[in-house]
Structure formats: C-alpha cells, structure tokens
C-alpha cells in the first residue's frame, strides 16, 4: 500500500488514463495535483468524483511543453501539501498520422509534449523527491515503445524514447532512492481520444480493445491506477528501470 | 555503379564504412553538412538532414543508381538528467529525432519510386542499454529504432527495407564511461574476444544490408557488438585475478 498521505502529481490527470490514476490514488489516501491543459470540464468532473468519494486533490492548468508552467505546477503542489513524493508522467498526444503525413514541425511539437513534458517535470520535481522517504516516478508509456504502430510513427518514436528515458533515470537517480518505471499501456477505453481514429488499420471498432487479446476484458484507466499505486508503494522499492506491459496480453498475439 | 548516401561524415565508423563501400566499387556520397573532412574516393554532399526539400533534391541528383542510405546516430551529448540544459535538449531533438525522420521520409519516398532499396540506421546498443551520462543520445537511439520498424512497415510494400544496427563499444567511445554504469569499465574484457571492435568490422554487414539478399531481415535489430552486452557481472580480467 502507498504510504499514508502520499503527495503525487499526475500530469494529464483531468481525463482519460490520468483521471483513472488520480481516482485510484486518491481512493487509497494520496493527495494529488491533477495537471490538465485542455478539457477543463472533464477535469472538473474528475475532481468532483474524487471529492465526492472523500479524496483530496486539486486541479492545475499547465501546458507540459512549457517548462515554466511545469515548474509552477510543481511549486504549487509543494506549497499546498508541504512535500512531494511521486511524479506520474502521463500527459501525451497521439495524432495518428502516417509517416508520409508527418513533417518536421509536427514531430517537434509532439516531441516537446510527449518527452519534453516528462523531462521538464522530472527536473522540476527532483529536489523535492530527494527529500521524500518513498520517492517515485512512473512514466505512462505504450506498447508502441517496442511494437510499431503503422498508424503513428511519431508517437512510437516518442514512446521508444521514453523507454530509454526511464532506464537512464533509473540508473542515475537510484542513488537518491528514487525508483523510475514505465507502464507500457495497450488499448484502453477512455472517454476522449486525441488524433483521428485509425479505422482503416483496425480489425473492428467493436472488438478494438479485445480482438485477439488473451484476457477478454477491456483495459480501463483504473487498471492503470492500481498498477501505479503499487509502483508508488514502499513494497515496490526495488522495482526500477522496468517497463511493465498492461495490455491484457494483446501484444503476444 | 551503385550509389550509397552516408548521412554524417563526422562519425568515425561511418567514415570507415564509406571507405569500405568506395573500395568495393560503389559511388559514395558522404554528407559533410554537420562537419567532417572530405574523404578520398567519396563525393561530398552538404545537406541539412532536417530539411526534406534539400534531401529530396540530393536524391534526385544522385539518380536511379541510389541503392540506399546509411544514417549514423549523432555524436553523444554527455549530460545527466539532473544537469542537462535546454540547448542540449534542443540539439539532441534536432540531430537525433528530426534528422532521422526527415531523412527517412525523403529516402523512403525516393526509393519507393524505384521499387527497391535500403535504409540502414547505424545506431547503438544504447537504444536499449542506458549510458548513465548520455540520456539524450540513448533516447534518440531508441526513437530511431522505432522509426526503423515503422519505416519497414510503411515502405515494405514498395520493396524498401529498413534495418537498425546496434553497434558496440569502440576505442573512440571512451568518454562514455560514467559513474552510473559498468558498461564502459574495461569494455575490451567484456568482449568475448577480449578486445574492442574496430570500425571496419562493420563493413561486411553494411554491404550485405545494401544488397538484395538482406530483405528477410527488414525491420530487424542487428546487434553488432561482438557479444559484449551479453556479458553480465565483472569483466573477465577481474574475475581471473580473484
């Protein structure tokens, strides 16, 4: 179980996977800063759900590709709760463009959100994590950090980079007791999807999330939340540099 | 005469490979835009790899004899996560990711029109093994490794193959020694043959990958490190002394 009163930042915590993570962490007693950028309405809905269930969290609007905004989000969290124990890097985009449809500027934009945001947040949190008794970093990534997509090479490039970002951070920050892991997420049912849906490349929309999947249960954000809660716990203190696939076994078939 | 484009003349390994292709009778276009001295037997190219239009113009100029491109990883930017600055971040993004994508798109489109060809990414074992003092480099290597797999899928139907070569430790990599990793502690003794690899040892592999015989390997990672990263634990020299 997470230590009582764990303070965590979840970027992109207002909707989708991030909202599921925030809900689970708060349900287990953590205090969470939910970073969000667009979709303020969804972020407020998530906050109300958490508060109605007796959890403690607050919203902070920040563009993760802007270092100053990320630093301000971290400072606001520490000012509110007096400390910081965990960073869950989750905010990312997936435009679903084919390789011939990409250009340099689009990749730059995607790089600065999907990796730049993770890097800025880690650097901003580092001084506070060093003071924590259970300092943790979890990077939400994708099965497409290892398996190509066909429908979004820019996205898979950024997820491949996060694989090594996680391993490098694990060996460098281990000296401070900071564990760094990533969750390689497969298909997940969310209420919002960025980018256009790659219909022409998928078996069928109805079976999108479970076709050929050994476990015939759709992954939902709360599944991710429970895995993150474990990784944030003292019991996971020797798990670091790991990429844990969460996809119902889909990548095996 | 077959032609190969080698995208970065700064890379010592790429320069050896260029010399090897020239010695084998190929026409070699060696890109010196980022730096590097001219090389005997090779034509000079000067294109900004982040510019799709410049790359396309170059390939048009090289013509139908172009068989493929070899894209070395950029030089390592030594920086820790804790200490890295914005300038280093941006340089790594441009040299490591943007350049790889634009070259892939331009080469992929050109070779697709020819119905054949190869894109070879001369990467590193650090696409999977962390360095400790070069996260920007290893991130770019991993991103390029994924780009290789995507390129193999995207251009495969047009007869274009893509390969990622993970080269291992060589003498000029000594600066990669870091306090966070054992990989560069006595690297020669990690090698099963107890010596460092030489750049010219990749020439045969590169010639093979540029041939029509390599197609079954499209999308593959080829670890070319002499077996060094299989080694786990203390270098053999230290073990023998126990």
- For residue range A123-175, list pLDDT tens digits in order: 999 999 999 999 999 999 999 999 999 899 999 999 999 999 999 999 999 99
Contact assignment for B150 to A148 by CB distance below 8 Å = yes
- For residue range A225-237, list pLDDT tens digits in order: 999 999 999 999 9
Q: Report the alpha-carbon distance of residue B55 to residue B150 in Å, rounded.
A: 20
Asked if ipTM goes beyond 0.90, one says yes
Residue B234: the pLDDT is 62
A60 annotated active-site: no
Please tell me the total number of residues recorded for chain B in this structure: 242
Percent of chain A with pLDDT over 70: 92
pLDDT at A206 over 50: no
pLDDT at A13 over 80: yes
Chain A residues inside the 8 Å CB shell of B102: 104
Minimal-distance CA residue of chain A relative to B51: A104
- For residue range B114-156, list pLDDT tens digits in order: 999 999 999 999 999 999 999 999 999 999 999 999 999 999 9
Residue A192: the pLDDT is 60
Mean pLDDT to the nearest integer, B44-62 = 98
Q: Tell me which residue of B109, B160, B165, B157 sits closest to B141, measured CA to CA.
A: B165
To the question of pTM greater than 0.90 for the whole model, the response is yes
Contact assignment for A119 to B81 by CB distance below 8 Å = yes
Tell me the CA distances in angstroms from B149 to B42, B144, B219, one per residue in order: 29, 9, 5
Under 8 Å CB-to-CB from B186, ≥6 apart: which residues?
B235, B237, B238
The residue among B236 and B187 whose pLDDT is bigger is: B187
Tell which phi-psi region holds residue A193, choosing left (phi > 0), alpha (psi between -120 and 50) or beta: beta
Q: Report the alpha-carbon distance of residue A100 to residue A97 in Å, rounded.
A: 8
Mean pLDDT to the nearest integer, A58-67 = 98
Q: How far apart are the first and last CA of chain B?
A: 56
Confidence of residue B15 (pLDDT cuts 50, 70, 90): very high
Contact assignment for A123 to B145 by CB distance below 8 Å = no
Question: B117 to chain A nearest CA, in Å?
Answer: 17
Q: Tell me which residue of B99, B188, B202 sits closest to B141, measured CA to CA.
A: B99
Residue B193: the pLDDT is 83
Mean pLDDT to the nearest integer, A105-115 = 97
The beta-carbon neighbor of B154 closest among A99, A103, A163 is: A99
Contact assignment for B138 to A98 by CB distance below 8 Å = no
């Amino acid at each position: 179980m997470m230590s009582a009163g764990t303070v965590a930042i979840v970027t992109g915590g207002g909707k989708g996977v991030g909202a599921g993570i925030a809900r689970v962490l708060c349900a287990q007693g953590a205090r969470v800063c939910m970073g969000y950028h667009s979709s303020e309405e969804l972020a407020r809905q998530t906050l109300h759900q958490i508060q109605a269930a007796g959890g403690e969290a607050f919203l902070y609007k920040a563009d993760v590709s802007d270092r100053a905004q990320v630093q301000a989000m971290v400072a606001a969290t520490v000012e509110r709760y007096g400390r910081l124990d965990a960073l869950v890097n989750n905010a990312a985009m997936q435009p679903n463009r084919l390789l011939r449809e990409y250009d340099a500027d689009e990749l730059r934009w995607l790089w600065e959100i999907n990796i730049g945001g993770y890097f800025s947040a880690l650097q901003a949190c580092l001084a506070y994590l060093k003071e924590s008794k259970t300092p943790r970093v979890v990077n939400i990534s994708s099965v497409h950090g290892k398996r190509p997509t066909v429908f979004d090479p820019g996205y898979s490039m950024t997820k491949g980079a996060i694989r090594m970002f996680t391993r490098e951070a694990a060996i460098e920050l281990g000296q401070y007791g900071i564990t760094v892991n990533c969750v390689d997420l497969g298909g997940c049912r969310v209420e919002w999807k960025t980018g256009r849906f790659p219909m022409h490349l998928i078996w069928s929309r109805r079976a999108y999330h479970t076709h050929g999947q050994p476990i015939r249960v759709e992954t939902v954000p709360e599944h991710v939340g429970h895995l993150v809660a474990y990784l944030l716990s003292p019991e996971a203190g020797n798990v670091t540099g790991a990429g844990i696939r969460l996809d119902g076994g889909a990548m095996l078939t | 005469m077959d032609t190969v484009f080698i995208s970065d003349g700064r890379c010592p390994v790429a320069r050896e490979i260029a010399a090897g292709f020239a010695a084998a009778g190929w026409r070699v276009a060696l890109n010196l835009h980022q730096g590097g001295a001219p090389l005997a037997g090779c034509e000079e190219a000067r294109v900004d790899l982040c510019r799709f239009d410049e790359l396309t113009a170059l390939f048009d100029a090289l013509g139908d004899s172009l068989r493929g491109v070899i894209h070395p990883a950029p030089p390592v930017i030594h920086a820790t996560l804790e200490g890295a600055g914005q300038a280093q971040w941006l340089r790594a993004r441009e040299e490591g990711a943007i350049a790889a994508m634009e070259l892939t798109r331009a080469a992929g489109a050109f070779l697709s029109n020819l119905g054949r060809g190869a894109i070879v990414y001369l990467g590193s074992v650090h696409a999977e093994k962390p360095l400790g003092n070069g996260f920007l480099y290893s991130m770019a290597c991993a991103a390029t490794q994924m780009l290789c797999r995507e390129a193999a899928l995207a251009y495969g139907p047009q007869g274009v193959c893509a390969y990622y070569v993970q080269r291992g430790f060589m003498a000029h990599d000594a600066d990669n020694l870091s306090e966070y990793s054992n990989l560069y502690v006595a690297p020669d003794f990690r090698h099963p043959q107890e010596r460092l690899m030489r750049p010219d040892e990749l020439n045969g592999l590169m010639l093979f990958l540029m041939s029509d015989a390599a197609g079954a390997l499209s999308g593959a990672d080829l670890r070319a490190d002499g077996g060094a990263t299989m080694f786990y634990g203390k270098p053999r020299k230290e073990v023998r002394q126990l």
